[in-house]
Amino acid sequence: MVQTEVTFDGTSFLLSQDQDVGELRRRIEEATRGTGTFVDVVVVGNRQVSVLITPRSHVTISVATVAYDSRDTGDLDYPYGGYYDVI
């Protein structure tokens, strides 16, 4: 599967499979036009992350092919990666 990694000011996140990278880029670009706006993304583990984007934010997007993970659905109602998901 294709995995997208986004780094916001040095902090890296892997996006869940349902995230539209083109739309995310548009929202980030739009946020930089103001003084600061939160941009929400769903990351691997089906968790929502809000990132404050300002005109001084540094964002990097990279794409790689990795092994398929059926848990990576982007469904916020079914997060994984907690204490009990290691078993």
How do residues 24-77 score in pLDDT, each as one tens digit?
999 999 999 999 999 999 998 888 999 999 999 999 999 988 777 777 776 777
Q: Write the CB contacts of 74 (distance below 8 Å, at least 6 apart in sequence).
A: 16, 17, 18, 19, 42, 46
- Distance, in Å, from the CA atom of 6 to the CA atom of 47, rounded to the nearest integer, reads 14
Question: Would the pLDDT of 22 be above 50?
Answer: yes
Q: Does 87 have pLDDT greater than 50?
A: no
Radius of gyration of the chain (CA): 14
Query: Which secondary structure element, helix H or strand E, spans residue 25, and what is its range?
Result: helix 21-31
